[in-house]
A and B are shown apart, each in its own frame.
Chain A
Amino acid sequence: MPKRYSRTALVLALSPRTFLLWLAAALFVAYLALIAVVMSYAALTVEFAQSVRSDEATVAILEREYLSEVSAITSANYALVGYAKPVAVLFVPGAPGTALR
């Protein structure tokens, strides 16, 4: 019946040189993985940063349109578009004021 060894015993059974070689190989792979992750992160960051900037610029264009619309409404001559000044204004009861004298 073959003798069974635990996992720890198997590791300890490796020669120190083999153990260190495996360790170095594992670290090298991890190092490459780290580089890959960092480079991917860099690429995505640049892409996202530009995307955010582009979106902000698009919003700025919309904001410019909004402000020019506000300006157009403010400066509109209502008489020219068919509205007439009311001949009288009637102040009607409304909600109670918060600062009554």
Chain B
Amino acid sequence: MRAQFRLRIRLILVCLLLVAFLILTRLYFVQIIQGDEYAAKADRQFASSSSGLFDRGSIYFTRKDGTLISAATLATGFLVAINPQTLTDPEGAYTTITAAASSTLMRDAFMTAASKKSQVYIEVAHHLSESAGKELAAKKIPGVQVLRERWRTYPGGVLAAQTVGIVSYGSGDSLAGRSGLEAQYESTLARSSDALYKNFFAQLFSSAGNVLVDAKNVREGDIITTIEPEVETRLVEDLAKVTAKYSSKESGGIIMDPRTGAIYALATNPTYDANDFSNTKSGLFKNPLVSNVYEFGSIMKPLTMAVGLATGSITPESTYKDTGCIQIDTRTICNYDLKARGVIPMQEILSQSLNVGVSWITAQVGTEQFRTYFTKLFGEKTGIDLPAEGSPLLRNLQSPRQVEYANMSFGQGISVTPIQMIRALGALANGGAMVRPHTVSAVQLDSGVVRPIDWSGTTPVFSPEVAREVSTMLTSVGDHSIAGGAHRIPTTSFAAKTGTAQLVNPAGGYYKDRYFHSFFGYFPSYNPRFIILLYTNDPQGVQYASETLTSTFVDLTHFLIDYYQIPPDRGVPTAQSASPTTL
């Protein structure tokens, strides 16, 4: 009897094991072999994606204390849609909706929509606030639906608008980043349409394989930029003043850490409000700092000086005879004031911004070495993490004519983007090595992991000694030459140089009375924390950059010293010797 019972139990166990094995085999086929097919089927049958609710990662500014401030995020609210077939009182509905919606709702358009009796769903108002949406929904107007909505919002409005970029519909029917960081980091910011399912039960089984390793978890996240909102605001305001004061075609500026390439601020004027760009000219979406090339003029001279020193063609003690004008090939190159200076040292070339002087240096360097150094400085794109970086125009570096090299030595006949220019000039502030300019420091993944981006690679161009020699010269320019030394800061050294270039005439040659003004500087001179590049294109009623951009540069310098509490690097007086500086 007992043996028979055991036999039965064993038989049942065998049966159970057999059934379990069959189920496992079936599960293997269903989930592994035919998993994708069933997942797709489950999607179609049970899971309706939540693509109706827009979702996207955020872009953050980073304050100096590390606090993240949204540059681009999502706003939530409601949209209003009508069902013309069930809308019984269009006039009353229009009045009620108009009272709730902050955006203007045209009466004619609403009535036209309401008359389309063949349709059941027409959206008539967007971006209602939480309170307005809930209030309207509570009225339960027949034929009116109040549905939740999310949309992209830019808390800063015009702040770094061209850098942050926009999200809009392109040729397809999906919202995507179209410019700036929104486009550059689209794969990180975009959210998969299957991110949220209405049927979680279906999701649980159809996406079981994703529980352990989900590819989008290592891709999707938020973007953390290096842009400091208060510095950016200051730059935006200052550039707006320059553009307005001189009726310039455009003005722009970049503030960067020359040691790392982290960009604290970059702005252009005119710009646009990222929250309302419907009437913005398409050209404004392009970032001129990255895409446009300009002839920068005399801010190129420090680089020519550095090339002269690096090749051993000159020393800081070298002298030359300045005749005011020189003949090269068939062309005459003159100083800005046509005046001769006689025998003068190298410092004076930068202090007085002498075209003849840098042309002389270029002749000493020779075309071959000049080409080698300028190709190293500008021959390739910076690789900045912004779309549509422009290519420099370096055709003249292949010219056999000496005059072209002389022109390039003072920044004419060579066109580069502002970001390429600040990268090259940054070598003087960074011991002779060019850094990789960038606007994004890290990606914050949805999993919470912050993944820093490595921008550490540098390109050595000059030796640290050469960079220091040129910094000394440029510091002298800042202390004594710019506005006659009126802006000298007793406790902080700064290296600076102005540039005034004639604008290219499309008909040929250059305009005699239209200019491109530029200004660059870095401070403290021998251990720089910031490098600033400013420009204003075609300012009216003024000839030299020293008149248009000096006060802006000085204002930004003082602001940054105060804001970042940059310690003094020179001339800290004793209490007894301190004397007031008259403004």
Contact = CB atoms under 8 A, between A and B. Distances in A.
Asked if A pairs with B, the answer is yes
Interface of A: 12, 16, 35, 38-39, 41-42, 45-46, 49-50, 53-54, 56-57, 59-61, 63-64, 66-67, 70-71, 74-75, 85-101
Given A93-B574, A97-B569, A74 B583 contact: no
Q: Could you say which of A38, A60, A90 has the most chain B C-beta atoms within 10 Å of its C-beta?
A: A60
Contact of A63 (B8, B9, B70, B569): B70
A48 to B, nearest CB: 11
B572 A91 contact: yes
Nearest to A38: B201
Contacts of B159: 67, 71
Given A63-B69, A90-B578, A93-B575, A98 B8 contact: no
Contacts of B573: 91-93
Contacts of A50: 76, 148
Nearest to A62: B155
A53 B574 contact: no
A88 B583 contact: yes
A61 B70 CA distance: 10
Interface of B: 5, 8-9, 12, 58, 69-70, 73-77, 130, 148, 150, 153, 155-157, 159, 196, 199-201, 204, 229-230, 233-234, 236-237, 490-491, 493, 524, 526-527, 567-575, 578-583
Contacts of A100: 569-570
Given A60-B73, A90-B578, A85 B583 contact: yes
Contact of A57 (B76, B236, B579): B76
Contacts, number: 128
Which one of B230, B490, B574 has the greatest number of beta carbons of chain A within 10 Å? B230
A90 B76 contact: no
Nearest to B575: A93
Contacts of A45: 200
A60 B153 contact: yes
Given A54-B76, A74-B233, 9 more contacts: A38-B200, A46-B196, A60-B155, A64-B153, A64-B156, A67-B159, A71-B159, A94-B491, A99-B569
A54 B204 CA distance: 26
A74 B237 contact: yes
Nearest to B73: A60
A70 B230 contact: yes
A99 B491 contact: no
B124 to A, nearest CB: 22
A45 B201 CA distance: 12
A94 B155 CA distance: 38
A91 B578 contact: yes
A35 to B, nearest CB: 7
